Amino acid sequence: MARGRPREEGIDDAVREAVRALLTESGYQRCTIDAVAARAGVGKAAVYRRWRSKAELVFATVVHPVELEPPSDTGSLRGDVAAVLEVIQSSLDSVELRQALPSLLADVRADPVLETRFGEVFLGRERGYLVQMLDRAVARGELSRRPDPALVHAILLGPVLTWLHLFTETPPSSGLGASLASPLHAAVVALGA
């Protein structure tokens, strides 16, 4: 049984909401813990009682809750690739995440615990889905052998990530995922030929 005064309900959500608002309004650097606590109407200690660091708080707020649904079996590799690209893109294009990502990645890289968790939560899960997708394609006879999943991962995730975080221009009107689906399908096919 839990001893002492229990954690107050609602503080977790209030803090996370404050983080999202401040990230959107001011970006990662000016989203300070003091500002977050003030905005949430909470003491700093209550924040640090729940998350070990700013990076962990932001990670838990904007990355962890992203539910990567397993992309459904669309019946063809082409359809599966298009679906995966949509999932990847939609998981990356929230305003908060685009604001936070460069600095967050830097901080995550500096914290071994967070780096491991990032690898598992973000990359590992996505990689697993890709393996399923590739195995289905092999079973259908669309690929003669299963290509290196890491290469496929880089080929599908890389262009989306790079566009959203390095390029300043707006994505093509048809949508980034849609524009990439056809060429990247061809790339995967070439890898598995």
Partner DNA sequence: CGATATACGGAACTGCCAGTCTCGTAAACT
Partner DNA sequence: AGTTTACGAGACTGGCAGTTCCGTATATCG
Report the residue from 28, 51, 59, 129 that binds a copy of itself according to the rule CB under 8 A.
28
Report the residue from 16, 19, 22, 54 that binds DNA according to the rule CB under 7 A.
54
Query: Which of the stretches 6-14, 43-51, 55-63, 145-153 binds a copy of itself when contact is defined by CB under 8 A?
Result: 145-153
Based on the shown chain and the rule CB under 7 A, indicate whether residue 112 belongs to the binding site for DNA.
Answer: no
How far apart are the two ends of the chain, measured CA to CA in Å? 59
Query: Which of the stretches 42-50, 75-83, 128-136, 176-184 binds DNA when contact is defined by CB under 7 A?
Result: 42-50
Shortest spacing between CB 78 and a copy of itself, in angstroms: 11
- Ordered DSSP codes for the chain: ---SSPPPTTHHHHHHHHHHHHHHHHHHHH--HHHHHHHHT--HHHHHHH-SSHHHHHIIIIITT---PPPP--SSHHHHHHHHHHHHHHHH--HHHHHHHHHHHHHHHT-HHHHHHHIIIIIIHHHHHHHHHHHHHHHHTSSSSPPPHHHHHHHHHHHHHHHHHH--SPPPTT-HHHHHHHHHHHHHHHHT-
Contacted by 177, from DNA, a copy of itself, none: CB < 5 to 8 Å by type: none
Report the residue from 70, 119, 124, 128 that binds a copy of itself according to the rule CB under 8 A.
119
Contacted by 21, from DNA, a copy of itself, none: CB < 5 to 8 Å by type: none
By the criterion CB under 8 A, which residues form the site for a copy of itself?
Answer: 27-29, 102-103, 105-106, 109-110, 115, 119, 123, 148, 150-151, 153-155, 157-163, 165-169, 172, 179-180, 182-191
